[in-house]
């Protein structure tokens, strides 16, 4: 029920004019999504929206295990270099054509050449070896191939072959958004909304829904994603009935909504974590691991999280990069995390030969948490005698500056939950920070050369230990963001997934 | 008159040309680029460089300018890098909100500023005048975003009388009732501008009342209320009305902050967002259109002034 | 010189509102000058345990989300307010006065200069300031420059108008025909007559610079966020408006009262001005 506006007639007119309320989901987003061609970008919001239109060969179930989705299965050759994937038959694209092996091969090739996570799979070729069979050739064995094929964020979603070949390395334009998902691209009104409508000829997988895997059913007629950058406005909008769902509410507002019966709270099931990268290429930190350890020793993560999140229920001081409950979770090597010992840090810095040069700490104001954490760190480092110079810019400038090794020593960013360690930005040698050591190479090789999960988990424990030893990046802590929804909204999940999906969602 | 008009239009065109060069070169001085924003955090520098090349962003600036200016002359402002839709459509979408917001704000300004200004002038020198003038100065000193935040807190989140934010088009479900979304923002935006109109009304009233023809009318024994209405008011409003043009133009481009607070899809917010995303075509397009708007209004105001006020010679 | 002093003091005695405004400005000035002695805490002292406290005896205006003392930050904020005001006024006067006078004296040059001022004025001013800051980078000096540029245009126009009128005054014409040099005319006749219009303009520019700076801060493009300014305080704490609305009350009131006091002073000065120039200063 909407709040009654005192303008009686107006309220009535409004009620009469929006009988679709029950069939349209109005989702308040943190801003406008960039291109919904999610092969090309890793923005969380774009993935959240586009996953309703575009689908992947595999999909993660409720446990985080990749299950065949558009594929029916896959077989890896003895040497691990060839993967043969069979496809589900009768899957329809939004334009009425059936999905074939040609479409899949073309989509995978374009993604591995131009995509935001190009190169991660090591794909050399993808060929249609049958109407519904695709054969992939890899440059080296990759034990994470199913997870990589299941991750929609900057990942290999399937488009029709002709659209892919026309777009090549440029993002696909909105009029060509054609996928296999339960929702069809409707309309993009800049600053107003992105609208998706139900795909009536959707071919669901014949299996019970389980996480993102299993059958998907579009119960809402329309999904509307409305940009509302101000968090207070997003919140009061749900309270007032203007939106059914609002993402990314600040931790400090938790206390206000947790008790409010007019609001459902959806805490994210997977945490986001802040990262402070160190520069391995240039500057005082580049070849001085002891100095990085001194920086690490000075930091009290509890304080940083308290300031940036506020609500204790919504953060966890934990140096493990995968949260508890994940198969990858391990505390291996996390001892140096969260020492908060200025005296020790001062001594370590001295021993490391620190000469008082201010460290350039690059941070953007577009993400409030980044700035809050950087402010706290700058102060803690100052107490340990390590000088910092904050370089505060907007996010677009930061993305450019961090590519220039001479411009920074430390920069703040964050990382979303990842299904597999190979998707972690720090292990990518060309990601700013440029962590390239022999030990890293060895640990990475151990992680990817096998597809045996136990061996891979053990390899990750070594890699995580190495990260805390060489300090290419410093984890701040786990932050469980939360979303809010109107009390009538029924979602197929209890805690909010990293990319909340609304197939199977309805209002009562 | 004809020669004057042609001269003014020529000058406006020259200003526009100079402005377009300034806009274009300045925008490309902004550090950062749209491609890395687009590709996101995980993209590598090589990918960014490759896409830049494909999109023609590595061409020399003057080449990019010529292409853009040539297309702009034909009414094509290019495509938004971020939205991947024509810039003209992005502007048109924002224009509805901006124009309606400005219009509603103008209504408040007229309803409040003019009568109160008249009252202050009639009661010149009394405590009413001083109080009203003080009020006007207070209104002019209040940051619109601050008022906006408290308006939301009280009337939207607290009392639930009005919607808190956003604005669905009046051409969509809800129709004209959607205008209620613009009520709180227009009040926040009206406050400082109403103060200006109030002061202007008062000052023009006093100016006109010192003119000879008013003195004559008074001397002829015409009733004071009639003098005020027939003689002073009509002439005083001339100056006020000519200020409307600029107020309107300012309301459209200066509403950025109000649009941000109330999450309104207007063109001001579009520009700010586009600056943050380095969406060059949109920034260029919107600023060009606003500059045009200013120039046209400027021209119209000057011309109407010359037409309406016989004392200005042509 | 004493005459101008009287312009400042007389209205204060005759109008109580002006007296209050002057008093408030003195308070702001003291805050700026003696901040370390007035503020009970350092403005950047973080204390996460005591965050978002409501006002009490220890924290008069409460604490923000870092646990910093809002009262101390408001006191230190006066420094930036003053700096921005003085900076913008100086920039606007230092550039606007020469442009205006030169344009009035040399019509050919004036045509070019005033055309350039027109180009600048045809840009939406807030957007112009935003764009400049994105190009130059965030910083106090750049904020001053960006806001100053807006008032350069209005100042130049006013100076141009006043100088043009003075130039055609009979006594200036007479001096000129008697062979007086341009510099002498500027010094003897134009500049002295310019003082009171410029004082009025300065107080209005000072007032509106506060609002402009606050708007820039609010959009995250004003003073660097680590500097305590009233606008930054509002921008940083705005999401707490439902939870801790007092955090937005005080910095907001400081902005309003400062701008208001300056406006009152400007208004009083204008009433004392030579009526010939009054109409040029806006109504």
- The shortest CB-CB distance from B32 to any of A6, A32, A399 is to A399
Q: How far apart are CA C59 and CA A116, in angstroms?
A: 49
- Could you tell me which of A268, A273, A246 has the C-alpha nearest to residue A479? A273
- Sorted by sequence, the CB contacts under 8 Å of residue A315 that are 6+ apart come out as A251, A305, A309, A477, A478, A479, A480
Taking each helix axis from N to C terminus, what angle separates A368-383 and A289-298, rounded to the nearest 10 degrees? Answer: 100
- Confidence band (pLDDT; 50, 70, 90) for C10? very low
Q: Which fold has domain B93-308?
A: MetI-like fold (1.10.3720)
Q: What is the pLDDT of residues C218-227, one digit of tens each?
A: 888 888 888 8
C122 interfacial to chain B (CB closer than 8 Å): yes
pLDDT at residue C278, as a whole number = 61
Taking each helix axis from N to C terminus, what angle separates C16-33 and C246-271, rounded to the nearest 10 degrees? Answer: 120
pLDDT at residue A8, as a whole number = 39
**C283–B145: do the CB atoms touch at under 8 Å?**
no
ipTM: 0.83
Beta strands in A338-387 (DSSP E): 359-364
Nearest Cα of chain A lies from the Cα of C66 at a distance, in angstroms, of 5
Q: How far apart are CA C245 and CA B258, in angstroms?
A: 19
Q: Which two tokens stand for residue B2?
A: 């004809």
Q: What is the DSSP letter of A172?
A: P
- Could you tell me which of A290, A229, C212 has the C-alpha nearest to residue B273? A229
Chain B residue with minimum CA distance to C217: B257
Chain B residue with minimum CA distance to A14: B174
Instruction: Tell me how crowded residue B2 is: count the other CB atoms within 10 A of its CB.
Output: 7
Average pLDDT over residues C93-121: 89
What residues in chain A have their Cβ under 8 A from chain C's Cβ atoms?
230-232, 235-236, 250, 252-253, 255-256, 302-303, 306-307, 310, 365-366, 371-372, 375-376, 379, 390, 392-394
Please check the confidence at residue A21 and state whether its pLDDT lies above 50.
no
**C255–B143: do the CB atoms touch at under 8 Å?**
yes
**C219–B141: do the CB atoms touch at under 8 Å?**
no
- The shortest CB-CB distance from A40 to any of B39, B157, B169 is to B39
Please check the confidence at residue B291 and state whether its pLDDT lies above 90.
no
**B165–A242: do the CB atoms touch at under 8 Å?**
yes
**C239–A252: do the CB atoms touch at under 8 Å?**
yes
A53-62, A449-458, C31-40: least confident range: A449-458
Are A24 and A224 within 8 A, CB to CB?
yes
Chain B residue with minimum CA distance to C283: B200
- Sorted by sequence, the CB contacts under 8 Å of residue C76 that are 6+ apart come out as C31, C35, C39, C43, C228
Select from A252, A258, A301, A380 the residue whose CB has the most chain C CBs within 10 Å, as the one to mutate to test that interface: A252
Are C84 and C139 within 8 A, CB to CB?
no
B303 interfacial to chain C (CB closer than 8 Å): no
B154 interfacial to chain C (CB closer than 8 Å): no
- The shortest CB-CB distance from B173 to any of A20, A117, A413 is to A20
Nearest Cα of chain C lies from the Cα of A392 at a distance, in angstroms, of 7
Give the up-direction half-sphere exposure of residue A128: CA atoms within 13 A in the CB hemisphere. Answer: 14
Average pLDDT, chain B: 82
C279 interfacial to chain B (CB closer than 8 Å): yes
Q: How far apart are CA A271 and CA A321, in angstroms?
A: 10
3-state secondary structure of A213: strand
Instruction: Tell me how crowded residue B308 is: count the other CB atoms within 10 A of its CB.
Output: 12
3-state secondary structure of A133: strand
- The shortest CB-CB distance from A232 to any of C44, C224, C241 is to C241
Q: Which residues of C touch A310 (CB under 8 A)?
A: 51-52, 65
**A307–C66: do the CB atoms touch at under 8 Å?**
yes
Instruction: Tell me how crowded residue C13 is: count the other CB atoms within 10 A of its CB.
Output: 9
Q: What is the pLDDT of residues A268-304, one digit of tens each?
A: 888 999 999 999 999 999 989 999 999 999 999 999 9
Residue C153 lies in a domain: yes
Torsion of CA C23, C29, C34, C40, to 10 degrees: 70
Please check the confidence at residue A13 and state whether its pLDDT lies above 50.
no
Chain B residue with minimum CA distance to A38: B39
% of chain B exceeding 70 in pLDDT: 96
Checking phi first, is residue B278 left (phi over 0); if not, alpha (psi -120 to 50) or beta?
A: left
Please check the confidence at residue A9 and state whether its pLDDT lies above 50.
no
Chain centroid, CA B166 distance in Å: 19
pLDDT at residue C281, as a whole number = 56
A170 interfacial to chain B (CB closer than 8 Å): yes
Q: Which residues of C touch A307 (CB under 8 A)?
A: 46, 48, 51, 65-67
Both ends of chain B: CA-CA distance in Å? 6
Chain B residue with minimum CA distance to A20: B173
Q: Which two tokens stand for residue B197?
A: 């109109």
Judged on CB neighbours under 10 Å (0-12, 13-18, 19+), C229 is buried
- The shortest CB-CB distance from C252 to any of B143, B152, B260 is to B143
pLDDT at residue C276, as a whole number = 63
pLDDT at residue A234, as a whole number = 87
pLDDT at residue A10, as a whole number = 42
Q: What is the pLDDT of residues A196-212, one digit of tens each?
A: 999 999 989 999 999 99
- The shortest CB-CB distance from C48 to any of A235, A306, A394 is to A306
Checking phi first, is residue A97 left (phi over 0); if not, alpha (psi -120 to 50) or beta?
A: beta
Q: Which residues of C touch A302 (CB under 8 A)?
A: 48
Residue C8 lies in a domain: no
Number of domains within chain C: 1
Nearest Cα of chain C lies from the Cα of A391 at a distance, in angstroms, of 9
pLDDT at residue C4, as a whole number = 46
Q: Which residues of A touch B55 (CB under 8 A)?
A: 170
A4-8, C75-79, C80-84, C259-263: least confident range: A4-8
- Sorted by sequence, the CB contacts under 8 Å of residue A458 that are 6+ apart come out as none
A8 interfacial to chain B (CB closer than 8 Å): no
pLDDT at residue A278, as a whole number = 95
Bridge partners, B311 (sequence order): none
Residue C1 lies in a domain: no
Q: Which residues of B touch A185 (CB under 8 A)?
A: none
Q: How far apart are CA A462 and CA A444, in angstroms?
A: 9
Q: Which residues of C touch B149 (CB under 8 A)?
A: 238, 241, 248
- The shortest CB-CB distance from A252 to any of C44, C48, C243 is to C243
Q: What is the pLDDT of residues B241-262, one digit of tens each?
A: 777 877 887 888 778 889 988 8
**Higher per-residue pLDDT: A15 or B174:** B174
Q: What is the pLDDT of residues A117-145, one digit of tens each?
A: 888 888 999 999 999 999 999 998 888 89
pTM to 2 decimals?
0.81
Q: Which domains does chain A possess?
A: 9-30+182-248+482-507 (3.40.190.10), 58-161 (3.90.76.10), 272-479 (3.10.105.10)
Chain C residue with minimum CA distance to B299: C122
**Higher per-residue pLDDT: A104 or B56:** A104
Q: State the Cα angle at C155 between C152 and C158, rounded to 5°.
A: 150
Break chain B into its structural domains and give their ranges.
2-73, 93-308
- Confidence band (pLDDT; 50, 70, 90) for C280? low
- The shortest CB-CB distance from A307 to any of C44, C46, C242 is to C46
Chain B residue with minimum CA distance to C219: B257
- Confidence band (pLDDT; 50, 70, 90) for B1? low
- How many residue contacts between A and C have a Cβ separation below 8 Å? 60
Q: State the Cα angle at A103 between A101 and A105, rounded to 5°.
A: 65
Residue ranges of alpha helices (H) inside chain B are 2-27, 34-39, 45-54, 61-73, 87-122, 127-140, 144-151, 183-209, 212-219, 224-226, 234-253, 256-261, 267-277, 280-308
Residue with tokens 């979408």: B93
pLDDT at residue A386, as a whole number = 95
- The shortest CB-CB distance from C243 to any of A256, A372, A390 is to A256
- Confidence band (pLDDT; 50, 70, 90) for B300? confident
Q: What is the pLDDT of residues B87-133, one digit of tens each?
A: 998 898 888 899 999 999 999 999 999 899 888 888 887 888 888 88
Q: What is the pLDDT of residues A235-269, one digit of tens each?
A: 888 887 889 999 988 888 888 888 888 899 999 88
Beta strands in A176-263 (DSSP E): 183-189, 193-198, 222-227, 245-249
pLDDT at residue C210, as a whole number = 94
Residue with tokens 């312009």: C7
**Higher per-residue pLDDT: B284 or B243:** B284
Q: What is the pLDDT of residues B180-237, one digit of tens each?
A: 889 999 999 998 888 888 888 888 888 777 777 777 877 777 777 777 777 777 777 7
Task: Identify the domain containing residue C180 by its residue range.
Answer: 83-274
Q: Which residues of C touch A306 (CB under 8 A)?
A: 48-49, 51
Residue A380's H or E segment, with its range, is helix A368-383
Q: State the Cα angle at B284 between B85 and B257, rounded to 5°.
A: 90
Q: Which residues of A touch C224 (CB under 8 A)?
A: 390, 392
- The shortest CB-CB distance from A6 to any of B161, B164, B278 is to B161
CATH code for the domain of C211? 1.10.3720.10
Q: What is the pLDDT of residues C14-24, one digit of tens each?
A: 577 888 899 99
pLDDT at residue A14, as a whole number = 42
**Higher per-residue pLDDT: C277 or B139:** B139
Please check the confidence at residue C6 and state whether its pLDDT lies above 70.
no
């Amino acid at each position: 029920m909407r709040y009654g506006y005192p303008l009686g007639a107006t309220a009535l007119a409004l009620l009469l004019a929006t009988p679709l309320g029950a069939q349209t989901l109005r989702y308040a987003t943190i801003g406008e999504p960039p291109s919904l061609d999610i092969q090309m970008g890793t923005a969380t919001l774009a993935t959240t929206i586009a996953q309703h239109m575009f689908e992947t060969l595999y999909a993660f179930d409720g446990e985080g295990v990749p299950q065949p989705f558009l594929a029916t299965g896959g077989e890896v050759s003895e040497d691990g270099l060839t993967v043969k994937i069979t496809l589900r038959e009768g899957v329809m694209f939004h334009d009425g054509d059936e999905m074939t092996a040609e479409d899949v091969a073309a989509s995978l090739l374009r993604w591995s050449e131009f995509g935001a996570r190009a190169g991660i799979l090591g794909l050399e070729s993808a060929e249609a070896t049958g109407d519904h069979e695709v054969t992939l050739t890899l440059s080296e064995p990759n034990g994470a191939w199913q997870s990589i094929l299941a991750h929609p964020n900057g990942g290999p979603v399937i488009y029709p072959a002709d659209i892919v070949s026309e777009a090549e390395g440029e993002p696909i334009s909105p009029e060509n958004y054609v996928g296999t998902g339960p929702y069809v691209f409707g309309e993009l009104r800049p600053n107003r909304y992105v609208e998706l409508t139900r795909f009536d000829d959707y071919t669901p997988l014949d299996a019970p829904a389980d996480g993102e895997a299993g059958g998907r059913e579009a119960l809402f007629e329309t999904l509307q994603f409305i940009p509302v950058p101000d968090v207070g406005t997003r919140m009061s909008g749900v309270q007032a009935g203007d939106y059914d769902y609002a993402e990314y509410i600040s931790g400090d507002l938790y206390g206000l909504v947790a008790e409010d019966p007019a609001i459902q709270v959806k805490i994210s099931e997977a945490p986001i974590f802040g990262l402070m990268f160190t520069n391995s290429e240039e500057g005082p930190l580049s070849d001085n691991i002891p100095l990085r350890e001194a920086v690490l020793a000075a930091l009290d993560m509890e304080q940083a999280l308290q300031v940036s999140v506020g609500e204790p229920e919504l953060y966890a001081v934990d140096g493990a990069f995968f949260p508890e409950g994940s198969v990858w979770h391990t505390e291996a090597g996390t001892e140096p995390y969260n020492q908060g010992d200025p005296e020790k840090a001062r001594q370590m810095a001295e021993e490391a030969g620190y000469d008082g040069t201010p460290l350039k700490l690059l941070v953007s104001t577009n993400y409030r948490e980044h700035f809050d954490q950087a402010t706290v760190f700058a102060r803690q480092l100052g107490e340990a005698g390590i000088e910092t110079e904050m370089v505060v810019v907007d996010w677009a400038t930061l993305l450019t500056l961090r590519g220039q090794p001479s411009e920074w020593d430390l920069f703040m960013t964050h990382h979303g939950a990842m299904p597999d360690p190979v998707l972690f930005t720090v292990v990518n040698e060309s990601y700013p920070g440029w962590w390239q050591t022999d030990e890293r190479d060895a640990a990475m090789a151990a992680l990817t050369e096998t597809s045996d999960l136990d061996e891979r988990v053990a390899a990750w424990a070594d890699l995580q230990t190495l990260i805390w030893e060489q300090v290419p990046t410093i984890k701040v802590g786990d932050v469980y963001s939360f979303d809010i929804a109107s009390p009538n909204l029924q979602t197929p999940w209890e805690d909010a997934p990293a990319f909340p999906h609304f197939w199977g969602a309805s209002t009562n | 008159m004809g020669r004057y008009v042609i001269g003014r239009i020529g000058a406006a065109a020259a200003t526009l040309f100079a402005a377009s060069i300034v806009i274009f070169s300045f925008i490309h001085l902004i550090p950062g680029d749209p491609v890395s924003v687009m590709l996101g955090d995980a993209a590598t520098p090589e990918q960014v460089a490759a896409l830049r090349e494909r999109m023609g962003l590595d061409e020399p600036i003057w080449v990019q300018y010529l292409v853009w200016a040539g297309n702009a002359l034909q009414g094509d402002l290019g495509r938004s890098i971020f939205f991947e839709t024509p810039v003209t459509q992005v502007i048109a979408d924002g224009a509805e909100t901006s124009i309606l917001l400005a219009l509603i704000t103008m209504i408040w300004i007229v309803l409040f500023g003019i009568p109160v200004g008249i009252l202050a002038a009639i009661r010149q020198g009394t405590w009413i005048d001083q109080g009203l003038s003080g009020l006007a100065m207070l209104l002019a000193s209040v940051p619109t975003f601050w008022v906006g935040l408290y308006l939301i807190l009280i009337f939207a989140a607290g009392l639930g009388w009005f919607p808190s934010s956003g604005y669905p088009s009046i051409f969509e479900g809800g129709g004209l009732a959607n205008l209620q979304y613009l009520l709180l923002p227009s009040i926040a935006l009206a406050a400082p501008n109403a103060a200006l109109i109030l002061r202007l009304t008062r000052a023009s009233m006093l100016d006109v009342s010192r003119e000879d023809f008013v003195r004559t009318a008074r001397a002829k024994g015409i009733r004071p209320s009639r003098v005020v209405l027939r003689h002073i008011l009509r002439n005083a409003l001339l100056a006020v009305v000519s200020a409307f043009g600029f107020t309107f133009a300012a309301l459209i481009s200066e509403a950025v902050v109000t649009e941000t607070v109330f999450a309104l899809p207007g063109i001001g917010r579009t520009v700010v967002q586009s600056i943050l995303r380095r969406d060059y075509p949109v920034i260029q397009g919107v600023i060009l259109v606003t500059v045009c708007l200013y120039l046209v209004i400027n021209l119209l105001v000057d011309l109407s002034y010359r037409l309406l006020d016989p004392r200005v010679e042509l | 010189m004493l005459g101008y002093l009287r312009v400042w003091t007389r209205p204060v005695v005759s109008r109580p509102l002006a007296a209050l405004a002057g008093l408030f400005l003195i308070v702001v000035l003291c805050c700026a000058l003696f901040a370390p002695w007035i503020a009970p805490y350092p403005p950047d002292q973080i204390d996460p345990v005591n965050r978002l406290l409501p006002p009490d005896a220890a924290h008069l205006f409460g604490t923000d989300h870092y646990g910093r003392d809002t009262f101390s930050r408001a006191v230190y904020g006066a420094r930036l307010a003053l700096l921005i005001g003085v900076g913008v006024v100086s920039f606007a006067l230092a550039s606007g006065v020469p442009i205006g006078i030169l344009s009035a004296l040399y019509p050919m040059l004036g045509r070019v200069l005033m055309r350039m001022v027109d180009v600048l004025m045809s840009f939406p001013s807030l957007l112009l300031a935003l764009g400049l800051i994105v190009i130059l980078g965030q910083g106090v000096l750049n904020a001053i420059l960006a806001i100053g540029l807006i008032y350069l245009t209005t100042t130049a126009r006013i100076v141009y108008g006043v100088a043009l009128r003075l130039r055609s005054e009979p006594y200036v014409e007479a001096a000129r025909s008697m062979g007086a040099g341009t510099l002498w005319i500027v010094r003897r006749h134009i500049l002295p007559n310019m003082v009171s219009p410029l004082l009025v303009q300065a107080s209005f520019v000072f007032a509106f610079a506060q609002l402009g700076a606050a708007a820039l801060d609010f959009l995250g493009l004003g003073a660097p966020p680590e500097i305590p300014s009233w606008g930054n305080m509002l921008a940083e704490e705005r999401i707490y408006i439902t939870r801790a609305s007092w955090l937005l009350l005080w910095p907001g009131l400081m902005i309003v009262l400062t701008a208001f006091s300056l406006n009152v002073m400007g208004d009083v000065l204008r009433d004392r001005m030579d009526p010939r120039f009054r109409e040029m200063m806006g109504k």
